[in-house]
Amino acid sequence: MDDRPTDDRMYRALIDREAAFEGIFMVGVKTTGIFCRPTCSARKPKRENVEFFPTAREALSAGYRACQRCTPLEPGLKSQHKLVRKLMARVRSAPLDRITDADLRCESMDPSTVRRQFKASIGMTFQAYQRAERLGRAFRLLRSSTGSSLQAANEAGYDSISGFADAFTALFGIGPGQADQASTLSVGWIETPLGPMVSIAHDEGIVLLEFCDRRALEREVQRLRARFASTIVPTQHPHLDQLKNELAAYFAGDMLGFSTPLHMVGSAFQIDTWEQLRSIPPGQTRSYSEQAEAIGRPNAARAVGRANGENRIAILIPCHRVIGSNGALVGYGGGIWRKRWLLHHEVSHAGAPVSTTS
């Protein structure tokens, strides 16, 4: 199956600098003889002056030179994610070790690059992630019956109570002595064959599961923080552990259903719409009009489409199973190529044909 987007779609992605297309194609500019990444900040060429290549190797073989602005021969988005994963694992394994910009330079890592990649991947800088990880450990200790402020400060790697208190208050909005009154959401990182995903858990269930490159991710996270009046911290949570295991089984084709608890945040209409999505069996699809009829609102197909677009829990609330009335794959925030992949995957492992509506 060829999941490569059409040339017209890749050109739109180039014009809009869509990060989701990093690693999907390179673009050669005929008038300059240079090839670039999809997100290059250079002035965009006309449609007739470009051609597309799946990798840098093909672009080089066609006689194009690498752009000096976007450096397409340097490690791409997937490698950036690899660097983020490596540093996250290092912080988790030794949370008291403060990795400074000087430390990064000593290990041939550019601090500005690390900062940018962390910001793009998980919505915070590397230094902010380190602070959140340390303070998250301290927060868990404070919430336990045995934790004192002094123990928590030591656990978080702070030399003084006052420094710990200032950092804690800056992150959580409250002092350490009020920790038992605070509310947090736990955030995790999950690798998938379609790219890394960010997951956020409330004690009642998963509230967000999105691909890291989705444009609306930062806005969705901000809305959740406001909705729950909570800080989002990188901590372990049983819902996140269960979700990670079930997603691994899903992508391996071992199971297509999920039992991880969900906590859907939305209007009554949105929740009805999302619950209906969950009733669509793997390997099958519905049109927007069929979905509207199923919730008793036959004239609300457009509203159903908007509600699907506002779904924050990808895959588990399977908006990828909704298609156009003519069978076309439309309207998926993670990208049409991912929607096509998910449907093909489910058909392959469910043993049922994809249904379409003419």
- The SS3 of residue 313 is strand
- Using the structure block, give the residue that is written with the tokens 């209906």: 276
**DSSP secondary structure string for all residues of 110-161:** -HHHHHHHHHHHHSS-HHHHHHHHHHHHHHHHHHSTT--HHHHHHHTT-S-H
- Which is nearest to 130 in space by CA: 179, 176, 167? 167
β-sheet bridge partners, residue 231 = 184
d(CA 121, CA 103): 21
- The SS3 of residue 187 is strand
Angstrom CA distances, 93 to 87, 229, 306, stand at 10, 29, 42
- Using the structure block, give the residue that is written with the tokens 């509230």: 207
* Catalytic site residue from 40, 67, 212, 319: 319
d(CA 16, CA 12): 6
Query: What's CA 278's distance to the chain center, in Å?
Result: 21
d(CA 110, CA 102): 9
* Number of Cβ atoms within 10 Å of the Cβ of 269: 15
319: annotated active-site residue = yes
Catalytic residues: 319
